Amino acid sequence: MCKQKSDWFIAAQTGNLEYMKKNIQKNIQTYDRRESDFEAEIFNGFSALHYACFNRYIDLVKLLLPFESTLETKQQVGIDAPGFCMSGKLRVPPGLNCLQLSVLAGNVQIIELIMNYLKAEPDVYSVFVNSCTPYPQFSVFSICAMCGFDACIDIMLNSQFVQEVMIDYADDCAPLFTATAFGKLKSLQALSQLQQNSLHTKYIDRMLLKRDSNNMTPIDLAKEPKDPKRFKITDEEHNLIIETVIKMSKEAFERVKRSCDVNLKQIGISYLQSQTEDEVFQE
Distance, CA of 224 to CA of 227 (rounded, Å): 10
Strands 89-92 and 77-80: antiparallel
From first to last of its 283 residues, the chain has per-residue pLDDT tens of 344 468 999 999 999 999 999 999 999 999 999 999 988 999 999 999 999 999 999 999 999 999 999 999 999 999 999 999 877 789 999 999 999 999 999 999 999 999 999 999 999 998 888 777 788 889 999 999 999 999 999 999 999 999 999 988 877 889 999 999 999 999 999 999 999 999 999 999 999 999 988 999 999 999 999 887 778 889 999 999 999 999 999 999 999 888 877 777 788 888 888 777 887 887 6
Distance, CA of 247 to CA of 252 (rounded, Å): 9
Distance, CA of 52 to CA of 146 (rounded, Å): 22
- What is the CB-side half-sphere exposure of residue 16 using CA atoms within 13 A? 13
* 20 to 15, 29, 38, 254, 255: CA distances (angstroms): 9, 13, 23, 58, 56
Instruction: State residue 159's pLDDT score.
Output: 92
Q: How many CB atoms within 10 Å of residue 141?
A: 25
Distance of CA 257 to the CA centre of its chain: 31
What residues contact residue 214 under an 8 Å CB cut-off, 6+ apart? Answer: none
For residue 148, which amino acid is it?
Answer: G
Instruction: State residue 189's pLDDT score.
Output: 98
> Full-prediction pTM beyond 0.85?
yes
* 157 to 128, 150, 268: CA distances (angstroms): 15, 11, 27
* 208 to 96, 219, 241, 251: CA distances (angstroms): 27, 8, 14, 10
For residue 69, which amino acid is it?
Answer: S
Distance, CA of 95 to CA of 49 (rounded, Å): 14
Distance, CA of 20 to CA of 16 (rounded, Å): 6
3-state SS of the chain? CHHHHHHHHHHHHHCCHHHHHHHHHHHCCCCCCCCCECCCCECCCCCHHHHHHHCCCHHHHHHHHHHHCCCCCCCCEEEECCCCCCCCEEEECCCCCHHHHHHHHCCHHHHHHHHHHHHHCHHHHHHHCCCCCCCHHHCHHHHHHHHCCHHHHHHHCCCCHHHHHHCCCCHHHCHHHHHHHCCCHHHHHHHHHHHCCCCCHHHHHHHHCCCCCCCCCHHHHHHCCCCCCCCCCCHHHHHHHHHHHHHHHHHHHHHHHHCCCHHHHHHHHHHHCCCCHHHHCCC
Instruction: State residue 1's pLDDT score.
Output: 37
